Structure 1
Amino acid sequence: MFHPSASRTGRTVAGLTAFAACSVGLVAATGPASAAPDPARAPLAPRTAEPYPHLAPTPPMGWNNWSYYMCDINEKVILDNARALVRTDLARKGYNTVTVDDCWMAKQRGPEGELLADPARFPHGMAHLGRQLHAMGLKFGIYADVGTHTCEKYPGSMGHFRQDAELFASWKVDYVKADGCNVPTAPGSTKEQTYRDLYGQMSRALAATGRPMTFSVSAPAYFQFDGRPLWHRVIGWSADVGNLWRGGRDVALEKQSPAQKWSSILYNFTYNSGLADLQRPGRWNDPDFLLAGDSGLTTDEMRSQMALWAMMAAPLISSTDLTKLSGAALEVLGNKEVIAVDQDPLGVQGKVVRQETGMAVLSKPLHNGDRAVALFNSGNTPRTLSTTAKDAGLPDAGSYRLRELHSGRITNSGGEIAAKNVPPHATVLYRVTAR
């Protein structure tokens, strides 16, 4: 969870003005705070020789507690949401990884330097939690930090990478999310070199266990405001050390207003949509969690986030109270045709092919030769949106079949891909077949 120069709970969410600024590549120069240097715990190590194992051929899907619950978690909260994944059929549709975020640990390591579960929150321990999740047919994800402490000041993994990796493997963990709070810059090294070394150490430690643990890297989020060349370079090596990476700011928290949530979705969409050339199949840009649920978002806004994340081949990781999921939110999260766009085996992130103030058009190639085309009205008034089959990258054809993936409605076109009176904050998502 990235939070520039402020505590996670105190960070502000960028508004629509930030969305517009990011559209033209203008971002403020700021960065995350770091702890005081501790050179004894930050030895430099050689660059990762082998890329991290290829463990995520399609974007990961699942649930994480952070945006909704933050630190208000315990064994019951996690397992109740896991059961809801199964009960709602979301698990069967691909949402199969349950990740426990920050605050699961005790404040101090054990007598052998080992991480311990908070005994009040998780009285049966994390191995027990993992067994419960596996018994439901789900995967077990856990949070760590490469710094001295996590973002919420629990023990970090710096100086304990091998020990923590072996512990996670013994707990049968399937997915590790490693944050980058409280990282002291090593003497004689740059900030980038330090982050690269620490994430490299964790990557090698996880791989050395022999247990396949999908590795989510947060390093790029801590460089989003350090200049585009450096940010992109960090994304480049993140794709060597892990399977997916957080690119920038956190999406909004449950306690924030609906307007703040929508602004954060716009902001994260905008920065992530510009990173398509840095993604490759099996190595995923991650613009953070899906907010569909008890969040104050409209149905159109929930559908837009889901459609845009699917177009960007982003991980689909819900962060809400799944035990109270509305029918509209369940329809959004469970839309099999939209999920299929995200999980398409070609593994290509869609690109923006047209963008103006208040609108964007994205096109994504699919493995069978179809194209997914999204017409996104980010503005506050209804408008007609359009592109052409040629501009969307489709081959010449006598006609085109357009299937709208929210309603299932099918139309035919001679070459125009359009939607009239698209509501504010709504997205029309087509699967287009040349005929």
Structure 2
Amino acid sequence: MRCVWWTLAAGALLCLPGGAGLDNGLARTPPMGWLHWERFMCETDCGKNPSGCISEQLFMQMADMMVSNGWLKAGYRYLCIDDCWLATQRDENNRLQADPTRFPGGIKKLADYVHARGLLLGIYQDVGKATCAGYPGSQGFYELDAQTFADWGIDLLKFDGCNYGTLELLEDGYRRMSIALNRTGRNILYSCEWPLYARRLTKINYTEVAEYCNSWRNFDDIEDSWTSLKYVIDFTASLQGELVAAAGPGGWNDPDMLVIGNFGLSWDQEVTQMALWSIMAAPLLMSNDLRDINPRSKALLQDQEVIAINQDPLGVQGYRLLKVI
């Protein structure tokens, strides 16, 4: 077993054995990549904000940056679309469709562009009737949507949990989408938010969650601030008895995005997030603007010694021993 001892203001951690995740052969180490949400949110007005709106152009530019600026070489493979990519209605065959103005070539064209550069494409959907931003959700269409994603060449699905109805519908939806993705025959990493939403209604069975998901969110969306980051760290530590045992190759606790390279964290706070996310065997999904990132933040995110801790094939999540006040 490879173990790490690290002491920071947040506390001291060491490594303990983890569990096994979804047996689809994916995510044997925590996934690494880029996700648009925290930095770009749901900006859809390309007239007012052409360089920052959720569009085909934004993701193609980020794909180019990931290759030319060393991100792919450093291990960041997934380029992920979050909410607000959709058209407001399904097509005449009830299939999902991208907003035709912002994604004129459709998602298949974008997937081909990303794959041609050696990257993998992630996409967002919701277990409920509508996404958190109000676009069409997957409830009632799990099998159709899974096949649509496979047909487009999607490699990762982030599955949110807004507008789901009852706890039974929520949990059934997460199970059904997992099964549907596997039945397509395409390798699609499944990132679910089951514990985040179900925790409000019931005690989480992490053994079951890990049977269906490759990673799972436990907490609210992270924000670009030390207050938010500290909340996630403390919440993780308060539940570590449940969380550490559930994680391991194939299934990971996801404390949400890396906000390194934005505006809200000091240098020491950026170092703290990178260190702790690596020790916790968390997915390393950046949300920043790769076209304009501080060179020091870039070097931190690409530090191979730190990434090696996160990508250790044993998949051992760090555990806080004590908190230094």
Contact 2:248–2:314 (8 Å) recurs in 1: no
- Match for residue 321 of structure 2? 353
Q: Deviations over 1:210-251 (max 9, x none)?
A: 001000011111134456xx03x2x33221111000111110
Task: Please list, as runs of the form range in 1=range in 2, the aligned pairs for 1:269-284 lying within 5 A after superposition.
Answer: 269-273=233-237, 274=240, 275-284=243-252
Counterpart code for 2:194: A
Counterpart code for 2:299: E
1:197 equivalent to 2:161? Answer no
- Match for residue 188 of structure 2? 213
Counterpart code for 1:348: V
Q: Secondary structure at the match of 1:203?
A: helix
Show structure 1 runs of 5+ residues with no match.
1-18, 20-49, 186-190, 254-260, 358-435
Which of 122, 144, 147 is the equivalent residue of 2:125? Answer: 144
1:159 equivalent to 2:123? Answer no
* Greater length-normalized contact order (CA 8 Å, ≥ 6 residues apart): 2
Which of 338, 353, 370 is the equivalent residue of 2:306? Answer: 338
Counterpart code for 2:235: Y
Which TM-score applies when normalising by structure 2? 0.87
In 1, Cα distance between equivalents of 2:198 and 2:140: 23
Q: Deviations over 1:133-171 (max 9, x none)?
A: 001110010001110000000000111111111111011
Q: Which has the higher strand share?
A: 1
Which of 321, 329, 341 is the equivalent residue of 2:289? Answer: 321
Contact 2:226–2:264 (8 Å) recurs in 1: no
Which of 64, 89, 97 is the equivalent residue of 2:78? Answer: 97
Moved more, 85-94 or 98-107: 85-94
- Following TM superposition, by how much is the alpha carbon of 1:83 offset from its aligned partner in structure 2, in angstroms? 1.4
Q: Secondary structure at the match of 2:306?
A: helix
1:287 equivalent to 2:255? Answer yes
Contact 1:52–1:242 (8 Å) recurs in 2: no
Contact 2:129–2:163 (8 Å) recurs in 1: yes
Q: Secondary structure at the match of 1:91?
A: helix
- Following TM superposition, by how much is the alpha carbon of 1:298 offset from its aligned partner in structure 2, in angstroms? 1.3
In 2, Cα distance between equivalents of 1:177 and 1:224: 18
Q: Deviations over 1:353-380 (max 9, x none)?
A: 22232xxxxxxxxxxxxxxxxxxxxxxx
Q: Secondary structure at the match of 1:356?
A: coil
Which of 99, 105, 108 is the equivalent residue of 1:124? Answer: 105
Change (3 A) 1:51 1:315: closer
Contact 2:23–2:250 (8 Å) recurs in 1: no
Q: Deviations over 1:271-299 (max 9, x none)?
A: 22422122223210000000011223111
In 2, Cα distance between equivalents of 1:285 and 1:107: 32
Contact 1:63–1:319 (8 Å) recurs in 2: yes
Which TM-score applies when normalising by structure 1? 0.65
Counterpart code for 2:27: A
Counterpart code for 2:56: E
Q: Deviations over 1:114-150 (max 9, x none)?
A: 1011011101100000001001110010001110000
Moved more, 65-74 or 293-302: 293-302
In 1, Cα distance between equivalents of 2:148 and 2:180: 11
Counterpart code for 1:270: D
Contact 1:288–1:317 (8 Å) recurs in 2: yes
1:181 equivalent to 2:162? Answer yes
- Following TM superposition, by how much is the alpha carbon of 1:51 offset from its aligned partner in structure 2, in angstroms? 4.9
- Match for residue 40 of structure 2? 69
Which of 293, 307, 316 is the equivalent residue of 2:275? Answer: 307
1:265 equivalent to 2:236? Answer no
Counterpart code for 1:211: R
Counterpart code for 1:201: R
1:57 equivalent to 2:28? Answer yes
Contact 1:165–1:202 (8 Å) recurs in 2: yes
In 1, Cα distance between equivalents of 2:290 and 2:305: 21
RMSD of equivalent CA atoms? 1.7
In 2, Cα distance between equivalents of 1:204 and 1:160: 13
1:88 equivalent to 2:59? Answer no
Q: Deviations over 1:163-189 (max 9, x none)?
A: 11111101111101100100011xxxx
Figure out how many residues of one structure are paired with residues of the other and give that number. Answer: 293
Contact 2:35–2:286 (8 Å) recurs in 1: yes
